[in-house]
Amino acid sequence: MMPPTATATAVFLSAAPSSFSTRSRRSRLPAISASLSPSSSSSSSDEPLLVRAARGEDGLQRPPAWMMRQAGRYMAEYQALARRHPSFRERSENTDLIVEITLQPWRAFAPDGVILFSDILTPLPAIGVPFDILDSKGPVIQSPVRSEEQVRELVPIDLDMLEFVGESLKILRNEIDGKAALLGFVGAPWTIATYVVEGVMTNTYTNIKSMCHTAPDVLRGLLSHLAQAISDYIIYQVNSGAQCIQIFDSWGGQLPPHVWEQWSKPYIKQIVSRIKKECPHVPLVLYINGNGGLLERMKDTGVNVIGLDWTVDMADGRRRLGNGISVQGNVDPAFLFSPLPVLTDEIHRVVKAAGPKGHILNLGHGVLQQTPEEAVAHFFDVTRSLRYDTLFQGSVAEELLPVA
């Protein structure tokens, strides 16, 4: 399907209708600390390898590597901490625990990216949407947002309620001390809206999908509000020390491509446009689970990096996107259960397919439960041993243009 017309795009990108004007509460975005922003006189070679790869810089020796969900349940150290602190909300909303959990894989494996231990739903209470996490059901929102009145009740994001995020990032930036990139992350508006509208985890998304047709103005108002709040939240993370931000549109892949084009992409573009203006030095990564049918559309959001899931062949993904944009991924997490030589071969295959520029090595999804820590260590050891000049010896890098 062709992209929406300019008129339709303007409708989708517009702010919520006046009938959806939300209660007034100003978001207070702190000014970025001079010690946390790149100096205009500093060389890009002083920046972390991951940031440079995200920008597509030439001349890097190897790809940087990190793993989605690299902090968490597969690590014995985390499991011991979780037994002492069984509430996930406590673990992800207490500064001391956030810092400790985030640093566990950093100390154990020395990845090139250290991602904040948090959750994409963490900012919801700050916009007036309380939630619980139940062991048997996962996230639960007692009053799903499905009406015009409920959208009007949402408030601008109260960043004071997220102080534990900002404090954690500041501490982590100092702890890492330039030896890796500090990553923050957010959920995309559509993905966050699936939880807000459905109220619980679902495999069908029938309520929110039907709203596209039965209550489109309500859904647009909700998505517009979320886009504004998420933009503020990204800026807050950057001002607190995050050097790269990943946007998870985890459930965007549940939409047909033409529906994603209408109901997810415009709000991601709205976020990207604002961040590019206010934090132009910070690379943005977009990841969608099940994104094989969306790659070209994802590129049009304006992000710096497209994360590929493991169902996309890296060579095909690079061919479709061209080498004017960076890519991330995409080793199948199941390879971490394979014999280590098999994992080594797969890492080499993915890196060769991605090419010698603009690639962040990662899994195609998060680390699975029961993943052997030995395999995670091996993944990062192999990556550190890679050298582009050896892998691509005697070959000429092909200039790939995106498929028309």
- Residues 95-154: pLDDT tens digits? 999 999 999 999 999 999 999 999 999 999 999 999 999 877 889 999 999 999 999 999
What SS3 class is residue 77? Answer: helix
pLDDT for the residue numbered 19: 38
Quick: pLDDT tens for 281-309: 999 999 999 999 999 999 999 999 999 99
pLDDT for the residue numbered 36: 58
Query: What ranges do the domains of the chain cover?
Result: 66-387
pLDDT for the residue numbered 260: 98
For 90-193, strand residue ranges (E) read: 113-115, 132-134, 138-140, 181-187
pLDDT for the residue numbered 38: 53
pLDDT for the residue numbered 46: 87
Residue 42 or 374, more confident = 374
Binned at pLDDT 50, 70 and 90, residue 399 comes out as low
pLDDT for the residue numbered 50: 98
Could you check whether the bond before residue 330 is cis, i.e. omega within 30 degrees of 0? yes
Q: Give helix then strand counts, H and E, for the chain.
A: 17, 9
Average pLDDT over residues 156-176: 98
Binned at pLDDT 50, 70 and 90, residue 280 comes out as very high
Residue 257 has pLDDT above 70, yes or no: yes
CA distance 68 to 285: 12
* Long-range pairs for 81-90: beta carbons < 8 A, 24 or more residues apart: 88/119, 88/133, 89/132, 89/133
CA distance 332 to 329: 9
Average pLDDT over residues 305-325: 96
Quick: pLDDT tens for 194-248: 999 999 999 999 999 999 999 999 999 999 999 999 999 999 999 999 999 999 9
* CATH 3.20.20.210, applies to 66-387: yes
Binned at pLDDT 50, 70 and 90, residue 17 comes out as very low
Average pLDDT over residues 300-324: 97
Binned at pLDDT 50, 70 and 90, residue 40 comes out as very low
CA distance 195 to 212: 15
CA distance 121 to 115: 16
Q: What are phi and psi of 361, to 5 degrees?
A: -75, 135
pLDDT for the residue numbered 234: 98
The Cα angle at residue 119 between residues 117 and 121, in degrees rounded to 5: 160
Residue 34 has pLDDT above 50, yes or no: no
Tokens of 116: 């904040």
| 307, β-bridge pairs | 287, 328
pLDDT for the residue numbered 45: 74
